[in-house]
Amino acid sequence: MITVYLSHGLESGPGALKVQALKGIAEQFENCEPVVMDYRGLKEPQERLEHLLAVIDERNDTLANCVLAGSSLGGWLSAAVSAQEPVLGCFLLAPALGLPDYPQTSITLQAQHTHIIHGWRDDVVPPGPVIEHARCQRLSLRMIDDDHRLQNSLDTILSDFERFLELCLQ
């Protein structure tokens, strides 16, 4: 059994379209338990990171059996957890990596499996630092013709996530 932690972005919430769609994919696997995080009321990245780590700890989950999936700041959170301790997987959507006002901007992911999806036209998180991050660690990266919200790419995101979970469950 693996636990899939789903983290929304800064301006989003647990009911957001992408988070709920990813949850739906995870629920299709009998060996996956999705946990949708709620960071509303926690604005600072460090506060959100502490909350995510506390929830993982409360649930007594072993990070080696966890997949962390997140969008934007949620992607940064997933990456930041994997920088502290190895995890099974990181699935990152337009992750807020390389932003000067975020702590740990040069995170080294410790994930058995990683996949990043980022939009060429992202004007919130520039593609350059994310591409460089993926290049330095030789991480799986899919660049798509979309903006930060990745709204036009939901089908691609969901099919990639399904394949990603299949890989993690092998």
pLDDT tens column, 38-52: 999 998 999 999 999
Residue 105 pLDDT grade (very low, low, confident, very high; cuts 50, 70, 90): low
User: Can you name the residues that pair with 6 across neighbouring β-strands?
Assistant: 36, 69
What one-letter code names the amino acid at 31?
N
pLDDT in tens, 23-39: 999 999 999 999 999 99
Give the whole-angstrom CA distance, residue 19 versus residue 37: 9
pTM: 0.96
Quick one: how far is CA 20 from the chain centroid? 13
Q: Is the dihedral of CA 50, 88, 32, 162 positive or negative?
A: positive
